[in-house]
Amino acid sequence: MNPFAATTGFLHDRVDGAGYVVNLLLRTLLVLPRIHRRLRFLLDNAFNAGVRALPVTMVVAAFAGAILAMQTGIELRRFGDTAVLGTITALSMCREMGPFITGVILAATVGSAIAAELGTMKVSDEIDALEVMSIDPTDYLVLPRVLALAVMCPLLTVLSDLIGIYGGSVIAEQNLGVSSDLYWISAIEALTSSGTVLPKEVYVGLLKSFVFGVAIATVSCAAGLRAGGGALGVGLAVQTAVRNSVILIIVLGFVVTWFFYFLS
Amino acid sequence: MIELQDVYKRLGTRDILRGLTVTVPKGMNFVLMGPSGTGKSVTLKHVIGIFKPDRGNVRVDGQDVPTMDQKQLMALRKRMGYLFQNGALINWLSVADNVALPLREHSQMSRTDIADRVHEVLELVGMAHAHAQFPPNISGGMKLRAGLARALVTNPEYVLYDEPNAGLDPIISQQIHELIAEVRDRLSVTGLIVTHSRACATQCGDRIGILESGRLAIEGSVDEIVHSDHPLARAFMGIGSD
Ligand SMILES: Nc1ncnc2c1ncn2[C@@H]1O[C@H](COP(=O)(O)OP(=O)(O)O)[C@@H](O)[C@H]1O
Ligand SMILES: [Mg+2]
């Protein structure tokens, strides 16, 4: 095959896909006023997302916090400065690690489930059935899912932050000789030093996870709605959803941090 | 009356419809047969405006479907029921909620009126006993009957049936065929039926058309097709078919 044609074909598919996602997000915003009719679906979806992602998030967050404390602790020990361990773990958990791991886990558990569910609906004509009943799939299917993750991702992130910091404290106390009191005091001090009602690290992290939640749900819905060609198509939709979600989590995470810490 | 006139449609890289012309007069059941993948489902989706033809006309009661705006499409779809292959029910809604869906979303009916109407159509298709069940837990035949109830709940003038007996045993198929004939006779619904089954075609059809390479290879009354010498007619209607 002509490599030029292959490249333009690839680019065309990517741009086409991105255009679909942006379009879907805009249409979802447009139907936002109709959410009062979808409250039950919203609650169902939020609950499901929480139940699916909670156990994994807790385990991964605890280990992430522990790893963070170990990695920085090894270096800090050389300078005899392990007292700042609480500060460093708390800040990196809230700013970056908490939202990041929550996002990735949501993409893998809930995003994939959304793509599979909508993809199956697509290939078994259920999306067409909605259209025939003049029911807009954006309003009926996409809106409750996007809002559910927009709410659940920050909630789970708060939990990951706490559990991560706790995971760090265990390592700090057991392996690095930092007393639990000192660890927690320095952690809380670090988080309250910005002087705003909600500490900056926390609200930037929460905003980030809100953006992640919206992105994961939109990308996964789009992948499902564009599924084609039977069971194979559903499998590909799941793959697309998880891959695109993870890419977006990394890129958007960078953009938000950059915006709040370097631009302003 | 449903009219497709010289309709061409390309999907992906394949020409699916190539000059298809079908006319379904009011009050009749038109049966569309043909090998798998020849575009029978695609044809039905043209009638209800999910697909637009690349060339040619699609009209319902003289109104041009492809040029309709959203509002006109909604009005058209209100007058049309669509029974999808395998029912296409929403998995997380009970049978009764599935059937109620079109009424809940778009009519001003009260809760009790909706419940009464849902019960009435479920009774008609013999599914009243299963109203609280969920689609993943019911058989293919029950899904189809629930799908048919959903198609009929808005009192449509037209119903499009996509393989209403695919994968069903002969006894359940028989019931569905009787139901389709009854819908035509009692509710004077005009039907366009896609099927592979000779039994379905002869029991609920008035006219039959057989699709090949994107257009009708042969068309006629049920009697004409049953007795035709055309190889496709013999393949679909002959002894040993079904
Ligand atoms: N949305 C679509 N996009 C691309 N190709 C499609 C689409 N829908 C159907 N097709 C293709 O059109 C052909 C006819 O499909 P269909 O009408 O479902 O066949 P059948 O006669 O068995 O109902 C198939 O080859 C199918 O792959
Ligand atoms: Mg078909």
Q: What is the per-residue pLDDT for A237?
A: 96
Q: What is the per-residue pLDDT for B240?
A: 54
Q: Does A125 contact B at CB distance below 8 Å?
A: yes
Rounded Cα distance, A51 and A148, in Å: 12
Of A148, A129, A141, A132, which Cα lies nearest the Cα of A223?
A141
Rounded Cα distance, B49 and A23, in Å: 22
Overall average pLDDT of the A6-15 stretch: 81
**Both tokens assigned to A262:** 């370097």
For A165, phi then psi, to 5°, come to: -65, -40
Banded pLDDT at B148 (limits 50, 70, 90): very high
Residue in A121, A132, A135 nearest the CB of B82: A132
B/e letters for B16-47, b = 16+ CB within 10 Å, e = fewer, are: bbbebebebeeebbbbbbbeeebbbbbbbbbb
Ligand nearest, relative to CA of residue B162: 2
Atom of ligand 1 nearest to the CA of B36: 22
All residues of chain A having their beta carbon less than 8 Å from the beta carbon of residue B50 are 128, 131-132
Atom of ligand 1 nearest to the CA of B34: 21
Rounded Cα distance, B121 and B110, in Å: 17
CA atoms within 13 A on the CB side of A41: 18
Residue B87, Cβ density class (10 Å: 0-12 exposed, 13-18 middle, ≥19 buried)? buried
Q: Does B92 contact A at CB distance below 8 Å?
A: yes
**Average pLDDT, rounded, for chain B:** 91
Q: What is the per-residue pLDDT for B85?
A: 87
Residue in B45, B88, B102 nearest the CB of A124: B88
All residues of chain B having their beta carbon less than 8 Å from the beta carbon of residue A124 are 86, 88
Banded pLDDT at B108 (limits 50, 70, 90): confident
What distance, in Å, lies between the first and last C-alpha atoms of chain B? Answer: 29
The H or E element that residue B69 is part of is none
Of A208, A191, A201, which Cα lies nearest the Cα of A255?
A208
Minimum CA distance residue for ligand 1 atom 6: B11
Rounded Cα distance, B24 and B3, in Å: 6
Q: Above 90 in pLDDT, residue B175?
A: no
Q: What is the per-residue pLDDT for A199?
A: 80
Q: Does B60 contact A at CB distance below 8 Å?
A: no
All residues of chain B having their beta carbon less than 8 Å from the beta carbon of residue A148 are none
Q: Domain residue spans in chain B?
A: 85-155
Rounded Cα distance, A91 and A168, in Å: 12
- CA distances (Å), B126 to each of A204, B81, B154, B162, in order? 57, 18, 18, 20
Atom of ligand 1 nearest to the CA of B44: 17
Of A204, A210, A245, which Cα lies nearest the Cα of A224?
A245
The H or E element that residue B136 is part of is none
Q: Which of B41, B45, B162 to mutate to test the pocket of ligand 1 (most atoms within 8 A of CB)?
A: B41
CB-based contacts of A14, cutoff 8 Å, min separation 6: none
Overall average pLDDT of the B219-231 stretch: 90
Banded pLDDT at A155 (limits 50, 70, 90): very high
Cβ atoms within 10 Å, residue B160: 26
Of B229, B235, B241, B209, which Cα lies nearest the Cα of B4?
B209
Q: Above 80 in pLDDT, residue B242?
A: no
- Size (chain B), residues: 242
Q: Tokens 């989590």, residue? A: A249
Banded pLDDT at A69 (limits 50, 70, 90): very high
Contact: B45, A128; criterion CB under 8 Å: yes
Overall average pLDDT of the A31-55 stretch: 92
All residues of chain A having their beta carbon less than 8 Å from the beta carbon of residue B78 are 134
Q: What is the per-residue pLDDT for A177?
A: 87
CB-based contacts of A239, cutoff 8 Å, min separation 6: none
Atom of ligand 1 nearest to the CA of B43: 17
Give the percent of chain B with pLDDT over 90.
Answer: 76
What is the pTM assigned to this prediction?
A: 0.90
Q: Does B93 contact A at CB distance below 8 Å?
A: no
Q: Tokens 């959203």, residue? A: B70
Ligand nearest, relative to CA of residue A228: 1
| B 180-239 residues inside an 8 A Cβ radius of A | none
Q: Above 70 in pLDDT, residue A73?
A: yes
**Both tokens assigned to A123:** 């290939």
Contact: A131, B89; criterion CB under 8 Å: no
Q: What is the per-residue pLDDT for B116?
A: 95
Contact: B88, A125; criterion CB under 8 Å: yes
Q: Above 90 in pLDDT, residue B17?
A: yes
Rounded Cα distance, B8 and A90, in Å: 64
